[in-house]
Structure 1
């Protein structure tokens, strides 16, 4: 399993949001360039970087910083935040980013997302679907978790048979350090075998990573708060 340590950026600083709320942010005293260096030293090969300013603005905002991070790190970067057009994707990929993450567009403009997959290739695009489990059904939320799409995870995923990567977040678990939704992840792996699922939300201990059976996992708050040692986590995922 590939482990992607997560780094969320707002105003050039490393932060973590609690359940996606911008008003509930924790700022960490870390330099983003130095943070990626430490990730690499711990044995990580990938990092998941989120431009929170871009997510709020609806277009990538911290381009210069992202370009600096991509150029100065040995890690492969997966970048999210405000990606809405083919130009947004192209600029990030041209700057050295390895994969870009597309979220709400999967629901709002599926034809556009399919065009991204065709133009840039499924290996360069990660679909990101955030879900709330309602009466046993994972329902997709959009626009920073503020809107209910009215569609299930299964319905939305079916729109993208050519996709290869899916970042799946259970909103109720994100930033809560209560453990992943293993049942949801197992169900998704069974029902969406063509997608390499990245488990996101709730990882709080090494045992969580050992239990996961997804191809990849993202660790954020637990890492930044010292609950998980990254080198040990990378070893646990090997």
Structure 2
């Protein structure tokens, strides 16, 4: 783990992205947990159900502290009412600066025309300060999503979201085919892909299936394990 410094012309400051653990290893608190933040936007609850299962999966990894966060809503209450959106859950609302506290992330959102919902994009647009200081660089992040139909953007939503991670220098962690046989289900409709866990909302009445929830749990556990490894000595229980 060598030190890498990047000079930003705007600030003329060097930002240390990686610490040399060989020199600073004695400063680590061995009891410090690896923090994984599951940050999501959910209008009708489908993404939130996946988020809850992802949190359970992440929390199942020893030495990992998993926490759910919502991004701020941008629509007015009267608009949400007309859209028959249910009340928000009691998951705390995250601020951009709080992202810097985490060691790993799983970001979730419904699709809008093949891309992430505007609410989540607005939140990421407010992370310029973190980009300027490169506080998210080198941190792992996964993506999960909900679409209205099978051709509604299960893969394009993830693909277009990766650009946000790239500009922050984050490490995209897809689940690939690590979910095993569940990735090859052909008898039933199943959301998700090698990019991340997913579900289909349909007209709103369809809820995440047992297999989709299992995939979400797997994603949380998988990314938590990788986050712990990347954190290194500080993550040791």
TM-score bracket for this pair, using the shorter chain length: 0.3 to 0.5
Bigger strand fraction: 1
- The structure showing larger relative contact order (alpha-carbon pairs under 8 Å, at least 6 residues apart) is 2
Higher alpha-carbon Rg: 2
- With normalisation by structure 1, the TM-score equals 0.33
- With normalisation by structure 2, the TM-score equals 0.33
